[in-house]
């Protein structure tokens, strides 16, 4: 409900996404097509207690997709220095072609919320040691 209310109703400006069924079907289709988890594994980036420099993860992703996704992290716990990946965002054109997230957004929808539910604590990852957690993080 949250994803539809917050993001779907904005995406529904597009004919191809103008119903809940279309929106969620497309999301699943893109998710399967990206196959992010398998590609990361193939590139030797495994979830768990191994730490990676952010640049290594970024380069791996760019080598597969030829675009740079937006990687957002949770800041290190107090007294620690490893940030944790919270989410990896891929950006698409309106025709669902991957594009660099860094490119400026043309006619973005003003009503679109940027923050998914429960991710207020996420910020752009710093160029430092990064944990790719093996489980879904629970936010406070």
Ligand X SMILES: *[C@@H]1O[C@H](CO)[C@@H](O)[C@H](O)[C@H]1NC(C)=O
Footprint of ligand X (CB under 6 A): 66-67, 73, 75-76, 83, 99-100, 123, 125-126
* Residue 139 token pair: 């936010």
Write the burial class of residue 136 (CB in 10 Å: 0-12 exposed, 13-18 middle, 19+ buried).
exposed
Cβ distance to ligand X smaller for residue 76 or 116? 76
The nearest distance, CB 86 to ligand X, in angstroms, is 8
CB of 25 to ligand X, least distance (A): 24
Question: Closest distance between ligand X and the C-beta of residue 108, in Å?
Answer: 18
Residue closer to ligand X (CB basis): 9 or 83: 83
Nearer to ligand X, 61 or 125 (CB): 125
Residues 66 and 80: beta-carbon distance below 8 Å: no
């Amino acid at each position: 409900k949250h994803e539809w209310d917050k993001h779907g109703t904005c995406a529904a400006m597009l004919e191809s996404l103008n119903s809940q069924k279309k929106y969620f079907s497309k999301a699943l289709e893109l998710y399967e097509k990206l196959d992010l988890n398998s590609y990361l594994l193939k590139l030797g980036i495994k979830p768990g207690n191994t730490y990676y420099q952010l640049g290594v993860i970024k380069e791996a992703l760019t080598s597969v997709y030829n675009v740079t996704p937006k990687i957002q992290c949770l800041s290190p716990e107090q007294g620690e220095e490893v940030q944790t990946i919270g989410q990896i965002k891929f950006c698409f054109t309106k025709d669902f072609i991957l594009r660099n997230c860094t490119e400026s957004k043309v006619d973005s929808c003003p009503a679109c919320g940027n923050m998914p539910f429960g991710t207020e604590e996420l910020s752009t990852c710093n160029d430092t040691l990064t944990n790719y957690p093996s489980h879904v993080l629970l936010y406070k």
